[in-house]
Structures are given as C-alpha cells and as structure tokens.
C-alpha cells in the first residue's frame, strides 16, 4: 500500500466540537461537577480512564437510541474537517478514526455531519455497545478491556499499520490528532501529534515531555499536513517540545 501519509484521529472533541460522552453525562447523567471531578482523578493518575469513563456512562439512564437522537441535535462538526477530509481523499491519504467512544454514536454523527457515504469510507476503530433486548439497558463494551484505557489506541495503530503492510523501514508520515488523556498512548506511534489547544492532552504532553504541535481546528491541521506532504516541510519544524 503506497500512500503519502496516514492520519489517525480521535473523534469526540477533536473531529466534533463537543465530546458526546461528556455531553451525555453532563445533561442526562450525574452532571458536570462530578464529571470534572472524575476528569481530574484520571488526569492525576488516581483513577484509570476506563474506570472513570465507565462511571460516567453508568450514570446515564436514558435508552441508547434516545442518547443518539439527543446527540444528533446538539453535537457540531469541527468547521475545518470536511475540507481537510476532502483533500485527503484526493491525495489518497487514509483518515482513520481511533476512538474511546462507541461505534454506533460515531457512525450516526459522521453520517449526519459529514455524509452517509463517508461512513463507509472512513475506518472507525472504537469500543462497541451492548443493549439488553428486554430491558433496554445498555453498557459499553471495551475493545481492550484488559487495559486502563479500555481501548489501547497505540495497539490499534500498530495493528492497522501491520495489516496494511507497513514496517519501520517502509512507513509514510503518520499523524495523530487528539485532545484528551485517552490519546496519550497513541503519541509514541506517530511522527507528529496534534494536540488541541486548551485541552488535557497538552497538559499531559508537557508533564511527560511528549513531542507535539497544537491546533485549534482542522484548518490548522490541514495547513501543517499539507505543507509536510506537498512542500516536504520537515516535521521537526512543528514540534513544540
């Protein structure tokens, strides 16, 4: 497989402006105050991402189909994503969603916000959901339940690259775009990490001395990736630490 680059991206709060799981928790679950407490516990290493995330989702009593309908009314797309994705298609650059969220929600939002055809063209690697046919109760099914993240994004990236035939000696520029703690494991698998301004991922990158560059929306990612792919600008020019 010969491609000029590969773009892996988080979904919630990265491709979308709102984090769908946070939004559900704050509006249909136990609210913003407790969610922020859990977020701090995760960021400070007192609680694993998976445990905190599970606690958030368990606080939501709303049936899963209604959760999706609610999100379709309230979640918006990053204003620069469509143009960036269209350019990637013309350049034969795969865009792969690597998410700690749930596939049915991602597919529903992607279909509405970008287009139903795109759902078939973008690879989505995420957790799934189990719904009880009788009671309607639902719970997240983690892709990597034996890890503290629930979904080991670094593992998913390695598996994707290996499946496509890439190796250390034959690897195009690999980018990852994210905003939160769940994206940390993906950083070491990519050539350039895009961390969203004002979000937790930057805090962690600074603390752990993880190389990154910033973005506020996908128009900035577009400009940087385009300059690297088309103008052959060195990736090192963008790394902040």
**Number of domains into which the chain is organized:** 1
Is the predicted pLDDT of residue 226 greater than 80, yes or no?
yes
% of the chain at pLDDT higher than 70: 100
Q: Residue 131's pLDDT band (boundaries 50, 70, 90)?
A: very high
Q: What is the C-alpha to C-alpha distance for residues 201 and 178, in angstroms, rounded to an integer?
A: 7
Which pLDDT does position 155 carry in this prediction?
96
Per-residue pLDDT at 208: 87
Q: Is the pLDDT of residue 1 over 70?
A: no
- Can you list the pairs that 199-205 forms with residues at least 24 positions away whose Cβ atoms lie under 8 Å? 199/13, 200/39, 200/43, 203/43, 204/43, 205/241
Q: How many CA atoms lie within 13 A of 68 on its CB side?
A: 16
Residue 37 included in any domain: no
CATH assignment at residue 119: 3.40.50.1000
Residue 100's pLDDT is what? 96
Note whether residue 123 is domain-resident: yes
Q: Which residues are catalytic?
A: 10, 12
The answer to whether position 180 is within a domain reads yes
pLDDT in tens, 142-152: 999 999 999 99
Q: What pLDDT digit, counting tens, does each position of 55-109 carry?
A: 999 999 999 999 999 999 999 999 999 999 999 999 999 999 999 999 999 999 9
Average pLDDT, the chain: 95
Strands 192-196 vs 6-9: parallel, antiparallel or unpaired: unpaired
Show the domain range for 118. 6-18+77-132+145-237
């Amino acid at each position: 497989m010969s491609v000029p680059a590969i773009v892996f991206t988080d979904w919630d709060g990265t491709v979308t402006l709102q984090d769908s799981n946070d939004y559900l928790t704050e509006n249909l679950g136990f609210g913003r105050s407790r969610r922020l407490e859990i977020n701090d516990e995760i960021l400070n290493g007192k609680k694993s991402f998976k445990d905190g995330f599970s606690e958030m989702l368990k606080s939501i009593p709303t049936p899963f189909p209604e959760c999706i309908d609610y999100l379709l009314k309230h979640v918006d797309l990053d204003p620069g994503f469509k143009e960036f994705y269209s350019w990637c298609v013309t350049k034969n650059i795969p865009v792969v969603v690597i998410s700690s969220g749930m596939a049915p929600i991602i597919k529903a939002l992607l279909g509405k916000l970008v287009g139903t055809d795109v759902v078939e063209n973008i690879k989505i690697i995420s957790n799934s959901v189990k719904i009880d046919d009788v009671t309607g109760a639902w719970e997240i099914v983690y892709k990597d339940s034996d890890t503290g993240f629930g979904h080991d994004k670094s593992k998913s990236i390695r598996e994707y690259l290996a499946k496509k035939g890439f190796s250390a000696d034959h690897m195009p520029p690999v980018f990852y775009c994210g905003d939160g703690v769940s994206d940390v494991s993906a950083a070491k698998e990519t050539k350039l990490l895009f961390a969203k301004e004002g979000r937790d991922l930057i805090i962690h990158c600074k603390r752990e001395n993880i190389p990154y560059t910033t973005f506020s929306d996908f128009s900035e990612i577009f400009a940087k990736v385009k300059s690297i792919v088309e103008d052959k600008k060195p990736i090192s020019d963008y790394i902040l630490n």
